[in-house]
Amino acid sequence: MMENLKEHLRELEESHIHMEVRIDHGKLAEILADDFFEIGSSGYMSNKEECLNHGVVLTEMELFNFEIFPLATDVVLTTYYIVDKTRKRNTLRSSIWKFIDERWQLYFHQGTITPLELSEILVK
């Protein structure tokens, strides 16, 4: 069961970093919980409305080292590493997903720029 949840949440995380979802406000709105907020790698905070109205950064990204940490039966923390090919930088990311209205929705997200290279962090 936990492996299925990990796979499902990874698919959701990967979907919201892809360009086709990031430019589609309807798809993005479906992923983000109504009370979603984030602390971006810029250090600024934003909420769902701001993400949808002002857009999100459109870059080519790849996800590595995805892990989940259940916090409650309907709340899960995810962590992972992103290689941002467009901006040529790497970030450590964390998200909190909540099971709301019979589906997993992104409640919180944070990205932190890291000097660590992919070769230094890959889980063997």
124 contacts: CB under 8 Å, gap ≥ 6? none
Residue with the bigger pLDDT between 76 and 26: it is 76
Q: Residue 58: which pLDDT band, with cuts at 50, 70 and 90?
A: low
Written out in words, the top-level CATH class of the domain with range 2-121 is alpha beta
Instruction: Express as a percent the part of the chain with pLDDT over 70.
Output: 87
The whole-angstrom separation of Cα 84 and Cα 4 is 27
Residue with the bigger pLDDT between 70 and 40: it is 70
The domains of the chain are located at 2-121
How many secondary structure helices (H) and strands (E) does the chain include? 5, 6
